[in-house]
């Protein structure tokens, strides 16, 4: 989840820096497994310091309706045009993950190696306290409840420590229906986090893709980031508080694409590379007030957002 200083729009999300030090959560080390030893086939379920955002790292495509018009004055966009001119081979995608958030074989509650031990994350401008007691409802409502000492009990699920251990792979596509609300302090997010390599070093960018982050200080904007091959975009006027939107993200080897309600809002022209693998994470955080993101008001005791029908195809 992105955390650079705010851009001119007041949002802190843009293009991450090319270097990815241990940057934002005081992380635990994710479990390591050699890439060559990990099965590459589908897994079917039946049931960092924050990077400095570089606003010039990527020129997002201009969109008109659902048609993406590339800007031909850069090598990156010329590459896109050449790619789009090639004949495409279509294959039928299959569902490899669609477990409900209440399935404990698929989702672990309140645990991710992206957070420090103890489940608190003040260094990332968060008032969160995560833990095994704080998970979403059966309907996919993620809540943050005011707790003693200035903290908030915040819902989080990840596949990282679940028995199934599902991981996203290059060219997977994730879809979900989301509803966010413009309440001060609420910080909904859908993102990924990857295991360390066999040598104990992290993947580039820790395997992190921010499918979206949202702050009420920019109520119609989604923050989209690729920390693996740094790129980012602030997608303005693509959603409205309280209105459901359908998010679709394709994790291409050379291009990650984000769509909202079937309109492409960003293609990063960078991708995740051929060896990327990452666990999906869904949560709500509470902003502590830095980066222009205001904390909850004194009379607010509950924050929430909704995520439904999360599905991965391959």
Residue 284 makes CB contacts below 8 A (sequence gap 6+) with 142, 143, 144, 154, 155, 156, 186, 187, 188, 189, 303, 304, 305
- Specify if 226 maps to a domain: yes
- Specify if 304 maps to a domain: yes
Gap between the Cα atoms of 40 and 22, Å rounded: 28
pLDDT score of 303: 98
- Specify if 259 maps to a domain: yes
Q: Which domain holds residue 176?
A: 93-103+166-313
pLDDT score of 90: 64
- Specify if 154 maps to a domain: no
Query: Which H or E run includes 232?
Result: strand 231-236
Closest CA to 62 of 208, 265, 258, 209: 265
CATH of the domain at 212: 2.60.120.200
pLDDT score of 197: 86
- Specify if 24 maps to a domain: no
- Specify if 254 maps to a domain: yes
What residues does 284 pair with on adjacent strands? 188
As for how many domains the chain has, the answer is 1
- Specify if 131 maps to a domain: no
pLDDT digits (tens, 9 = 90+) for 82-138: 444 444 556 799 999 999 999 999 999 999 999 999 999 999 999 999 999 999 999
What residues does 109 pair with on adjacent strands? 157
Of the pLDDT bands very low, low, confident and very high (cuts 50, 70, 90), residue 44 is: very low
- Specify if 216 maps to a domain: yes
Number of other CB atoms surrounding residue 90 within 10 Å = 5
- The predicted model scores a pTM of 0.75
């Amino acid at each position: 989840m992105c955390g650079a200083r705010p851009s001119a729009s007041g949002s802190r999300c843009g293009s991450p820096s090319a270097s990815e030090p241990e940057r934002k959560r005081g992380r635990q080390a994710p479990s390591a497994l050699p890439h060559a030893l990990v099965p590459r086939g589908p897994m079917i379920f039946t049931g960092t310091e924050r990077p400095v955002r570089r606003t010039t790292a990527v020129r997002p495509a201009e969109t008109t309706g659902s048609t993406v018009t590339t800007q031909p004055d850069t090598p990156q966009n010329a590459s896109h045009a050449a790619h789009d001119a090639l004949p495409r081979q279509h294959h039928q995608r299959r569902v490899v993950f669609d477990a409900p958030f209440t399935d404990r074989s698929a989702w672990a509650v309140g645990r991710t190696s992206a957070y420090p031990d103890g489940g608190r994350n003040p260094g990332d401008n968060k008032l969160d306290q995560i833990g095994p007691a704080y998970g979403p409802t059966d309907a996919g409502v993620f809540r943050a409840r005011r707790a003693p000492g200035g903290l908030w009990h915040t819902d989080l699920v990840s596949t990282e420590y679940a028995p199934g251990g599902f991981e996203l792979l290059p060219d997977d596509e994730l879809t979900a229906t989301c509803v966010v609300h413009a309440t001060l302090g609420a910080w909904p997010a859908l993102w990924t986090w990857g295991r360390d390599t066999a040598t104990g070093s992290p993947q580039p960018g820790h395997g992190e893709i921010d499918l979206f982050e949202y702050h009420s200080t920019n109520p119609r904007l989604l923050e989209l980031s690729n920390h693996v091959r740094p790129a980012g975009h602030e997608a303005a006027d693509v959603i409205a508080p309280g209105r459901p939107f359908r998010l679709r993200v394709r994790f291409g080897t050379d291009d990650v694409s984000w769509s909202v309600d079937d309109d492409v809002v960003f293609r990063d022209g960078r991708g995740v590379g051929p060896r990327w693998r990452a666990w999906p994470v869904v949560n709500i955080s509470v902003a502590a007030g830095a980066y222009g993101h205001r904390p909850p008001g004194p009379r607010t005791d509950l924050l929430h957002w909704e995520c439904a029908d999360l599905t991965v195809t391959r």
